[in-house]
Structure 1
Amino acid sequence: MTVTADTVPRVAPGFRLQWEPAQDCHVLLYPEGMVKLNQSAGEIMKRCDGEKPVAAIVAELEQAFNAQGLQPDVIAFVEMAGQQRWLAWT
């Protein structure tokens, strides 16, 4: 599926996103293991709640980090995370 500004992503079934103090980062847990996320990935993933479209996630990130033009990077990450089956669309 092509991700657009209207796509509403959520963490896929079988995965759980959580902050891991020992790793000092967000991690994505699944039955076979764990994916350690960098700061950008963690910030995007924690906003993928199945309620907000990508456009709202981008707006939140741009406000939180005083940045502009993040939509292409966020869409690219969401597409990659979907291919990895970390995210699903509602």
Structure 2
Amino acid sequence: MRVTPDSVPRLRRGVRRQFDKTRDTAVLMAPERVIVLDDIADAIIMECDGHRSVAEIVTVLAARYQAPEDEISSDVTEFFEDLAQAALVTL
């Protein structure tokens, strides 16, 4: 699935972000799967509300981490493409 700056990612039904006390980290819970999120992945997921576009998420993250939007954009796009391919988000 191709992600564009106008794509609006949303976690699929049955997928949720949760803090796992045992692992002491954030995870994505999906039917029969648990995906451990690193700090970067968690920051992206926290901005994934089903209303903001990829471009808006990139702008928020760039401002928060004082990083160039063009560098963040490719990482965020690739992340959402991977999640879409794994059927964890819809676009």
TM-score w.r.t. structure 1 length?
0.89
What RMSD in Å do the two structures reach over aligned CA positions? Answer: 1.2
Superposition pairs for residues 1-90 of structure 1, below 5 Å?
A: 1-68=1-68, 69-89=71-91
Counterpart secondary structure, 1:35: strand
Give the counterpart letter for 2:23 in structure 1.
Q
Q: Which has the higher helix share?
A: 2
Give the counterpart letter for 1:30 in structure 2.
A
Change in CA separation of 1:12 and 1:63 when aligned onto 2, cut-off 3 Å:
same
Q: How many residues align?
A: 89
Cα distance in 1 between the residues matched to 2:31 and 2:6: 30
Any gaps of 5 or more consecutive residues in structure 2? none
Cα distance in 1 between the residues matched to 2:62 and 2:41: 14
Cα distance in 1 between the residues matched to 2:54 and 2:47: 9
Aligned-pair CA distance for 1:31: 2.8
Cα distance in 2 between the residues matched to 1:75 and 1:62: 14
Aligned-pair CA distance for 1:30: 1.9
